[in-house]
Amino acid sequence: RAKLNLYKLEVLENPISVDDLNQIWDINQANIPEVSDIPDLGRLRDLITWCSHVIVVRAEEVAGFILLMRENQNYDSLNYDFFNSKGDPFLYVDRIAIKKNHIRNGLGSMIYKKTLEIADNLGVMTCCEVNTEPRNDPSLAFHSSFGFKEVGLRDFDDHSVVYLVH
């Protein structure tokens, strides 16, 4: 894990630079189907508008990111709606992705530790969903290692998810 000192965690402030937006979008698109498609930069800007926190890990470039949302945003996501309909405050992991040449360096753990710290400071739960069909075993194991617990399941036409909270 000595490589971790090559990385810097940064909570971005709005407005987010065009270069950062482009890098986040590129990483997202390279990680489909583990994360959903963002059709264009306009949609990415919308997502970021709804976010309470956008965190990136940098090396010489953006190496990974996470988009986090609080409750009661006007986000058109059935997965987000699952948690929003419960009426409890939360921090929702909309998506996390690591650039291919930076995976297996501990960046996901670094980002999640910061996410859980933010949620603890806010006094809210952290929630997310993970694909069970197609099955995303690495993500399921990762979330389990952080102590996430299953709170629901949902089948869609083209995939299925498990809902998790911490």
Overall average pLDDT of the 118-145 stretch: 95
| Percent of the chain residues topping a pLDDT of 70 | 99
Q: Which has more pLDDT, 23 or 34?
A: 23
For 63-73, the pLDDT digits (tens) are 999 999 999 99
Q: Which has more pLDDT, 127 or 59?
A: 127
What pTM value is reported for the model?
A: 0.94
Question: Any idea which residue has 């994360």 for tokens?
Answer: 35
Q: Is 127 helix (H, G, I), strand (E, B) or coil?
A: strand
For 84-119, the pLDDT digits (tens) are 999 999 999 999 999 999 998 999 999 999 999 999
Nearest Cα residue to 81 out of 160, 158, 154, 157:
154
Does the pLDDT at position 1 exceed 60? Answer: no
Instruction: Tell me what the pLDDT averaged over the chain comes to.
Output: 95
33 band by pLDDT with thresholds 50, 70 and 90: confident
DSSP string covering 9-37, please? EEE--SSPPHHHHHHHHHHHHHTTTTS--
Q: Is 124 helix (H, G, I), strand (E, B) or coil?
A: coil
Does the pLDDT at position 2 exceed 60? Answer: no
